[in-house]
């Protein structure tokens, strides 16, 4: 039976998507709370698994070494609970301090502060797609500063060409240097240019260039950074359903979790000004 917090059969199922380490397990908290718009990829209908959870279940037979709690209950973001996890994944939206659209429990102010402290003290954080549409608006929120950028606009979905800008990064090995993908492409503001390492950008069509001239020809899509002793990773992809069923994307998530959990070199030296000079 599906619950707000699921640590039963889903432990192996979601682990399938987020990978497994051979020598030791990684404990992951996957939060899909939608205080704002709820994306169909994470929506449950009639208490049935969402697309992301179904993809995970299909891969569960191959990966069994990761423990995952999948939840829409943002109140689980607190110091006591975070102590149980190595990696936290957000596919979230809106002000998580509010119940919002999906009606699930919100985060507390204290929990939010404790979450940022948890990352700074060595936790691993992964933001997917609308994670940058979380805690946005007005002056950059401390969460946005940590994440590295804030969603500002998107147009219709289209096939974009993703260009890898750091093929040597441990999390980028599965992605071709040029990768054509159909998805909903985000444009970001409040980019933390001095602290993030760009791992992939996308050729921007004319409509994006016209809407946001400051981005000109390329839009940041994937980046990482260090945050105190923690590792932070963001991927703007993940709106379109086909993306989650793509083997390249799934393997990329496996590699991302391993890197975020501390496996392999940090390789997070800021490079924004080198990759996109003048932006």
Model pTM?
0.88
CA 200 to chain centre: 14
Mean pLDDT of 142-171: 94
Q: Give the integer Cα–Cα distance in Å for 262 and 268.
A: 12
How many Cα atoms within 13 Å fall on the side-chain side of residue 260?
A: 31
Question: In this model, does residue 30 exceed pLDDT 50?
Answer: yes
Q: Give the integer Cα–Cα distance in Å for 63 and 137.
A: 39
- Which domains are assigned to the chain? 5-275 (3.40.50.880)
Torsion over CA: 113, 220, 102, 72 (sign): negative
| pLDDT reported for residue 212 | 53
pLDDT band, residue 124 (cuts 50/70/90): very high
Lowest pLDDT segment from 73-82, 109-118, 213-222:
213-222
Distances from the Cα of 22 to the Cα of 34, 48, 56, 87, 267, angstroms? 33, 31, 18, 17, 22
Distances from the Cα of 149 to the Cα of 146, 152, 189, angstroms? 8, 9, 6
How many Cα atoms within 13 Å fall on the side-chain side of residue 240?
A: 17
| pLDDT reported for residue 206 | 66
pLDDT in tens, 238-272: 999 999 999 999 999 889 988 999 999 999 999 99
């Amino acid at each position: 039976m599906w619950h707000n917090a699921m640590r039963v059969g889903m432990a192996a199922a979601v682990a399938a998507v987020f990978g497994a380490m051979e020598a030791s397990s990684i404990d992951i908290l996957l939060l899909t709370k939608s205080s704002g718009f709820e994306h169909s990829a994470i929506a449950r209908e009639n208490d049935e698994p969402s697309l992301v959870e179904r993809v995970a279940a299909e891969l569960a037979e191959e990966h069994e070494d990761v423990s995952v709690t999948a939840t829409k209950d943002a109140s689980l973001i607190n110091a006591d609970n975070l102590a149980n996890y190595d990696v936290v994944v957000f596919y979230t939206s809106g002000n998580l301090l509010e119940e919002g659209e999906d009606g699930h429990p919100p985060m507390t102010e204290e929990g939010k502060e404790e979450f940022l402290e948890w990352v700074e003290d060595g936790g691993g954080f992964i933001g997917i797609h609308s994670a940058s549409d979380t805690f946005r608006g007005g002056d950059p929120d401390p969460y946005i500063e940590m994440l590295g950028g804030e969603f500002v606009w998107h147009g219709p979905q289209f096939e974009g060409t993703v260009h890898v800008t750091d093929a040597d990064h441990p999390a980028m090995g599965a992605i071709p240097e040029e990768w054509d993908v159909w998805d909903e492409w985000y444009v970001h503001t409040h980019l933390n240019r001095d602290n993030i390492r760009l791992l992939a950008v996308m050729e921007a069509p004319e409509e994006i260039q016209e809407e946001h001239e400051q981005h000109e020809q390329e839009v940041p899509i994937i980046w990482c950074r260090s945050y105190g002793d923690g590792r932070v990773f963001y991927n703007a992809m993940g709106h379109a359903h086909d993306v989650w069923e793509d083997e390249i994307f799934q393997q990329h998530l496996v590699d991302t979790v391993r890197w975020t959990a501390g496996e392999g070199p940090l390789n997070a030296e800021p490079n924004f000004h080198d990759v996109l000079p003048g932006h």
